[in-house]
Amino acid sequence: MKFDLYQTLAIAVVALIAGHLLRRYIKVLVKFCIPAPVIGGVLFSLLTLAGYVSGIWTIDYDDTLKQAMMVFFFTSVGFTCNLKVMKQGGKTLAVLVALTFVIILCQNFISIGVANALGLDRMTGLTAGSIPLIGGHGTSGAFGPILENIGVNGATTLCTAAATFGLIAGSLIGGPVAERLIEKHHLFKTLSNEPQDLSPQYFHTEKDEEEKPIDALGNSYTIALYQLIIAAGIGTGISYLLSLAGLTFPIYIGGLIVGAIMRNISEFSKLYTVHMKPINLFGDYSLSLFLGIAMCTLKLWELWDLALPLILMLTAQLTFMILFAYFIAFRMLGKDYDAAVLTAGICGFGMGATPNAMANIQAVCAKYQPSIKAYLLIPIVGSMFVDFLNSITITAFINF
């Protein structure tokens, strides 16, 4: 069976709906923050696997829209990069960003090292590095095809499997690591009743907007859509120019850069307004459709030959994440209660995604006391810096 562009899009939407329904009734999926597109998409990929194994049918999808949705999503990520927020975050934010960069580097060195020890190519090792772990399913879907183009068979499937493992593992280890630190160092007993030094108002970067009457350009949602499209269009041109240098870049890297430039020109010059609420909304829609198509088109049978090496690489990554959070991140962040709660968040987005990090923080704070620093800094790092740092680092590892 061969599905065209429109049929593939329709199947992806059905997969999204199925994923949302399953999340509603299977609570463990919510507990581990498994995204609806991943749930529904894997169901369809299992049907494809059943047909492939039995020889009854084969399914061929037209994934043209997958690349477009990927570019729009990462362009929206670029718009979240606000230099003013980085300046306001102070020392703790700077340390957290630095720790994130160290995690990205270590994840790639670990995966490549284990792969080399097993006699595998270093590029195969990257399928269990920062691409699926700190990057998640979105980055896996973006870089998987790039790795396949340079010779790693089944890279997208391997990255997706590793990303799913990371979501679950990140949710399982964050709370226990933070709890152990709090109890061992008696941090809850030494908490001060004084207000913490960061407040939500301090990090508020965009005033709530009242919807303006529709003019020649339309409302804020229309303007935001135009801004997103323009940034993506210019960005793909920049990506093409970068590729002329003979280096391998993901097609979205230009949109990521242009989105960040447009956002900060707006922030510092006030020549125009970037409407972040609708841009984030369009970005979420794009990510859902991108993941839906990417998950539906997975070739799960490609996992078989590399199942054991993948397990060994991910075991090494899990061990590293626990030790790094416990012995290094906690000390670098100040060895206090906030630092302990932040380690739960680091485990969450270091192995999985920002929602996992926030779920970990919520679980720890529900048992002890809220941490304003953790609630504010983790989303900022997870949404603004992770994809930038990860994309640049992965590109360097692929090319050099």
Distances (CA, A) of 222 to 212, 274, 277: 11, 11, 12
| Average pLDDT estimate for 238-242 | 88
How confident is the model at residue 214, as a pLDDT?
45
Distances (CA, A) of 341 to 257, 298, 338, 348, 376: 32, 36, 5, 11, 12
**Over 90: is that where the pLDDT of 198 sits?**
no
- As a whole number of angstroms, the distance between CA 289 and CA 137 comes to 12
**Over 90: is that where the pLDDT of 354 sits?**
no
In the numeric block, which tokens belong to residue 63? 């994934």
**Over 50: is that where the pLDDT of 25 sits?**
yes
| Average pLDDT estimate for 56-83 | 87
How confident is the model at residue 314, as a pLDDT?
96
- Closest CA relative to residue 334, chosen from 89, 127, 91, 68: 91
- As a whole number of angstroms, the distance between CA 108 and CA 90 comes to 28
How confident is the model at residue 215, as a pLDDT?
47
How confident is the model at residue 34, as a pLDDT?
77
- Phi/psi for 119 (5° steps) reads 80, 20
| Average pLDDT estimate for 360-378 | 86
Burial class (CB in 10 A: 0-12, 13-18, 19+), 340: buried
How confident is the model at residue 178, as a pLDDT?
93
- As a whole number of angstroms, the distance between CA 213 and CA 232 comes to 27
For 103-134, how does the pLDDT look when each residue is reduced to its tens digit (9 = 90+)? 999 999 999 999 999 999 999 999 999 999 99
Is residue 82 within 8 A of residue 263, CB to CB? The reply is yes
Three-state secondary structure readout of the chain: CECCHHHHHHHHHHHHHHHHHHHHHCHHHHHCCCCHHHHHHHHHHHHHHHHHHHCCCCCECCCHHHHHHHHHHHHHHHHCCCHHHHHHHHHHHHHHHHHHHHHHHHHHHHHHHHHHHCCCCHHHHHHHCCCCCCCHHHHHHHHHHHHHHCCCCCHHHHHHHHHHHHHHHHHHHHHHHHHHHHHHCCCCCCCCCCCCCCCHHHHCCCCCCCCCCCECCECHHHHHHHHHHHHHHHHHHHHHHHHCCCCCCCCCHHHHHHHHHHHHHHHHHCCCCCCHHHHHHHHHHHHHHHHHHHHHCCCHHHHHHHHHHHHHHHHHHHHHHHHHHHHHHHHHCCCCHHHHHHHHHHHHHHHCCHHHHHHHHHHHHHHCCCCHHHHHHHHHHHHHHHHHHHHHHHHHHHHC
In the numeric block, which tokens belong to residue 136? 């998640």
The larger pLDDT score, comparing residue 104 to residue 302, is at 104
Angle at 288 between CA 5 and CA 22, to 5 degrees: 105
How confident is the model at residue 78, as a pLDDT?
86
Burial class (CB in 10 A: 0-12, 13-18, 19+), 178: buried
**Over 50: is that where the pLDDT of 213 sits?**
no
The larger pLDDT score, comparing residue 294 to residue 215, is at 294
β-bridge partners, 215: 218
- Phi/psi for 218 (5° steps) reads 95, -170
- Local confidence band at 190 (pLDDT 50, 70, 90 cut-offs): low
How confident is the model at residue 366, as a pLDDT?
84
For 30-52, how does the pLDDT look when each residue is reduced to its tens digit (9 = 90+)? 877 677 888 898 899 888 889 88
- Local confidence band at 218 (pLDDT 50, 70, 90 cut-offs): low
The larger pLDDT score, comparing residue 198 to residue 234, is at 234
In the numeric block, which tokens belong to residue 35? 């995204």
| Average pLDDT estimate for 252-269 | 91
Amino acid residing at 396: A
Is residue 235 within 8 A of residue 256, CB to CB? The reply is yes
How confident is the model at residue 202, as a pLDDT?
41
The predicted model scores a pTM of: 0.78
Of the listed ranges 9-18, 230-239, 355-364, the least confidently predicted one is 355-364
Sign of CA dihedral 84, 201, 96, 242: negative
- Local confidence band at 90 (pLDDT 50, 70, 90 cut-offs): confident
How confident is the model at residue 54, as a pLDDT?
87
Q: Give the length of the chain.
A: 400
**Over 70: is that where the pLDDT of 164 sits?**
yes
- Phi/psi for 195 (5° steps) reads -60, 145
**Over 70: is that where the pLDDT of 212 sits?**
no
**Structural domain boundaries in the chain:** 5-202+285-399
How confident is the model at residue 289, as a pLDDT?
92
- Local confidence band at 302 (pLDDT 50, 70, 90 cut-offs): confident
What is the four-CA torsion angle of 106, 292, 279, 165, rounded to 10 degrees?
-30
Of the listed ranges 56-60, 105-109, 152-156, 332-336, the least confidently predicted one is 56-60
How confident is the model at residue 217, as a pLDDT?
57
- As a whole number of angstroms, the distance between CA 338 and CA 96 comes to 12
